[in-house]
Structures are given as structure tokens and as C-alpha cells.
Amino acid sequence: MNFYPKKTKFKKTRKGKLPKHSYKSNNLQFGYIGLKVIESGLITSKQLESARQAISRKIKRDGKIWIRIFPSISVTSKPAAVRMGKGKGSVSHWVSKVGSGTIVFEICGVSNYLSKIALRTGSAKLPVKTKIIYS
């Protein structure tokens, strides 16, 4: 169950820049324990789903998990051994740009010990440095 938008105005997007800091989503909103990104980077939909599955398995489907980011930016690639030119490649995967301070996951309804272990397991699946925060 990879995350990607059902419909977009434009199929292909430009690269743009990574955000340095996140001021919007840097506080816990739903749960009492969360996973916060320390450095900027790109998180693909596959990595996000893999982390979600790992967290869900660790807490044995008790409690509630919130995913605070959504991969809505398309990344294109051209096949190997294709000559230069002939336009932009087709969409290969979807990513979400995260700045430092962005909260990716939030959990409630599980003990602190179990949720800490679950978030540590989920953070191993992500390509950016993270830390666990409490409310």
C-alpha cells in the first residue's frame, strides 16, 4: 500500500529545494510520543510504508498511529542506456520533502516503553536522522 496522490494537476514536478527547518509541523498534535526528523531529506513512499509496518507490528496493532507527512512530489527517471534529450523521464516514485523538526509519526494508546521501541524500529527504515520526542 504505497502512498501517492490519486490526482495531481501536473504529472511531473520540478526538483526545487529542501526545506531547512519546519515551523509548521514541529509539535505533537495527536499522540503523546512522536518521531521527529533532525536533518532535511527526502522520504519515499516505500520507506514511509516500511516504517509504518514496522511500527504497527511492534505495537501489535494496539493504539493509534498518525502519519504526519504525505509523499506528493513525483520523481522522474529515464531508463539506463538512453541518450540525452528526448524530454523528461517517466514518474518512477513519489517522495515527501522534510525539513529538520518535522514530525513524521505520532503514537498514543500504548505504553511509553513499547512505543519507544516501536519508533526506534521505524526510524531504522528512514533515510534521515530522527529522535523520539514526548509531549
Residue 127 CB-half CA count within 13 A:
15
More confident position, 12 or 61: 12
What's the Cα-to-Cα distance from 102 to each of 20, 59, 68, 84, rounded to whole Å?
10, 22, 8, 37
CATH superfamily of 33-76+91-134: Ribosomal protein L16/L10 (3.90.1170.10)
pTM, two decimal places: 0.92
Segment 69-104, tens digit of pLDDT: 999 999 999 999 999 999 999 999 999 999 999 999
pLDDT reported for residue 37: 96
Q: What is the pLDDT of residue 11?
A: 92
pLDDT category at 114 given cuts 50, 70, 90 is very high
Residue-wise pLDDT tens digits, 13-60: 998 999 999 888 899 999 999 999 999 999 999 999 999 999 999 999
Torsion angles phi and psi, residue 82, rounded to 5? -110, 135
Q: What is the pLDDT of residue 34?
A: 97
Domain ranges of the chain: 33-76+91-134
Q: Is the pLDDT of residue 1 over 80?
A: no
Give the pLDDT of residue 119.
97
The cell for 48 is 514511509
The pLDDT value recorded for residue 65 is 96
